[in-house]
A and B are shown apart, each in its own frame.
Chain A
């Protein structure tokens, strides 16, 4: 029984969410995409004379420089590549693997369910760092391997979440009625189950995105994963920790980049979830 004024306000709020989200996330993505054009040196040029320049002091180093005299702005923009690629690829990959596992386990139950869920239990019981060290010791560190590790360790979260939703959804009458009509299992899963459980998956995905950017940096910090000479937001944060009291800008700007990216993604995620849900629509 939504009335005109509140729904109008709600719609405007939704539109704002989308606009702000796309502005934040879009700007960051564009900047990262065109980083090689904007900063051809990729923030690797060392200028010891200008080390630890404070931000907003010179046009050459708008966001200041780090202890080696490298431009913070250039490094933030260039470092976005690794962070965004890791964040995106790992989240998208985990969603695909995890949602598929959860759907199969929850819908078919039985042996598949037991098998997949024991894998999930094992995965959740294994300390992440131990898994990471073993993984990289065997396969060696690289961007791809970092992504694969994150997918392997995180898809189980989606699997559990989705399985739980499927277990309750499959007993609902609209699923039963689809079965009564004779709809094939594949279509029940793809057309009826999947759209109804996307909401929580999107929320988990936006949370994990931020988490994975930081995990990538932890791995780099431990000497695992991506080559530490390639700048990334998480790596910059780790490097800057000793200068936290003397040169705040070295850590604040990469941190701000992560924050704004995640904020933009959260807004977009909320908007996406609401616009996928027809019950949220007030008029047609």
Chain B
């Protein structure tokens, strides 16, 4: 057994009087990856910030414990160091990568300047030497044309490229320990796969210890050697990654693993399945006393609820002195699909694929450039103003971020009643009763009506948003990444709630998501979008089990599998997601779809 580079012993961290990390111990060895998993509020990020001693600035107090680090000058207790002494360790011996690559680079400095900053500071290189070293680092993180990248600015790079720059910066001074805090959460799956592969290779090359903080069990299975499971600031379980996944001991770990949607879990089933929830209690895992129910709600014999034909949405980009249109973003190009009552159609694709734009156009938040959208057989363009207004009652939208989509200054009750009162569906007193009913329906209580958004947890807020969407009895709900911001256990609850409501009310969903595993669980049919066009459309089983388009295959193979025994050895996809921005006059080629099987259309 090698000496660990970092060992935490009995660490407790307090903010004011609340203890956010309680008696936590773990250690990291050189060349190994320790994954720290847990849901929001489990204290996993606070631990990382405590190691960096950045938590001090947020007002943390270290109530006890030690963080022993094997620095190049011998072992030190990081908690005993002054901030001045920490500065020579931070960046040089311990480096950190953050979640949001969009905001962790300084927009006014070039990439080269930002990487060489640490080299000049810690390694005492000259400017020219530092730039050369920076170019080498960029080559290591596999950025094309590293020398050319040095002169570029953050806004000229995509999210994945920025995260690679962040990794290059972190590795600049050859640290012994790298802390990665949710480094791929904000990225698309194919880009995530690339970043994970780079991190793995660099770790092998440099022999560094890595602390990998994540909530994604798939990423854990792919990256980790050891796992620490945290909950409410305490360590629940720790062990070798295979043991944790194969034989979890603690009920919480079991529940966490059970809640993870697994790609391929629905193999061989034609229709979505509502599965009972598993929850951790003190004496083990309980599976809720509910039966499995096949979600047989789609009424394809009925007239289509929503029909989209040849939808095109373009945004003009004005550049130059006189503001002439020089480029256009081709967000949506000739997209067509139908949704039947009671059906869930999933739109999947990566960023820039136009999936949210389609949702917004249907909800009349965005004007279409051309094409038709008809609801119950009537074209949107034929409707007068009052009818269009009434349509906003029949189609509801649930946004991605439950923290953002509720007015912070209005109570939950007001937000839920607002659609009812806006469409004058009932009197204020009746609306109040209805609000209470809705709150109870989505698993909250009537007393929650008087609370403000910040007084709810993320999952509760999304329930409020769902209650709001249900308030005026819609027939179609557009759910735009509505589950992406939630923890897996909460996600599982909301999926079940959405499926129950569908069974009860015959709701149709347009489910916009990038998470293939969730899509597999919930949808009847799937449309895969690439650069604003549908490249594959079919029943869920057809698309997931016999994907025909190369992009669909790529997308599916990039999803991390929550099973450490099946690590991918296949080469990860390379290359960036192309941009839908094109010069004026350079129209994209429209793909033609052919039916390869009943109901299964593929671009070819």
Contacts and interface: CB of A to CB of B under 8 A. Distances in A.
A184 B410 CA distance: 17
Contacts of A3: 16-18
B393 A182 contact: yes
A3 B422 CA distance: 39
Nearest to A4: B17
B406 A174 contact: yes
Interface string B11-29: 0000111101000000000
Contacts of A134: none
The interface residues of chain A, by DSSP majority, are classed as: helix
Interface string A249-264: 0000000000000000
Given A3-B17, A174-B405, A279-B408, A180 B365 contact: yes
Sorting the interface of chain A by its residue count into under 10, 10 to 19, 20 to 34 or 35 or more gives: 20 to 34
A279 B389 CA distance: 32
Interface stretch (B296-304, B451-459, B559-567): B451-459
Nearest to B397: A180
B16 A2 contact: yes
A81 to B, nearest CB: 36
Contacts of A196: 407-409
B291 interface: no
Contact of A178 (B401, B418, B450, B465): B418
B405 A173 contact: yes
Interface in A169-186: 172-174, 176-184
Contacts, number: 81
A162 to B, nearest CB: 16
Nearest to A195: B409
A191 B408 CA distance: 12
A273 interface: no
Contacts of A6: 16-17
Interface string B325-355: 0000000000000000000000000000000
B112 interface: no
A99 to B, nearest CB: 16
A176 B399 CA distance: 9
A1 B18 contact: yes
A278 B414 CA distance: 14
A278 B409 CA distance: 6
Interface string A1-15: 111111000000000
Contacts of B393: 182
Contacts of B465: 177
B363 interface: yes
B454 A278 contact: yes
A277 interface: yes
A187 interface: yes
A227 to B, nearest CB: 45
B419 interface: yes
B396 interface: yes
A179 B405 CA distance: 11
Interface of A: 1-6, 172-174, 176-184, 187, 191-192, 195-196, 276-279, 281, 284
Closest 8 CB pairs of A and B: A182-B392, A3-B17, A278-B452, A173-B405, A173-B404, A180-B397, A181-B419, A195-B409
22 contacts: A2-B16, A6-B16, A172-B404, A173-B399, A173-B405, A174-B405, A174-B406, A176-B365, A177-B405, A177-B465, A179-B365, A180-B365, A181-B396, A182-B392, A182-B419, A183-B418, A276-B409, A278-B408, A278-B411, A278-B454, A279-B452, A284-B451
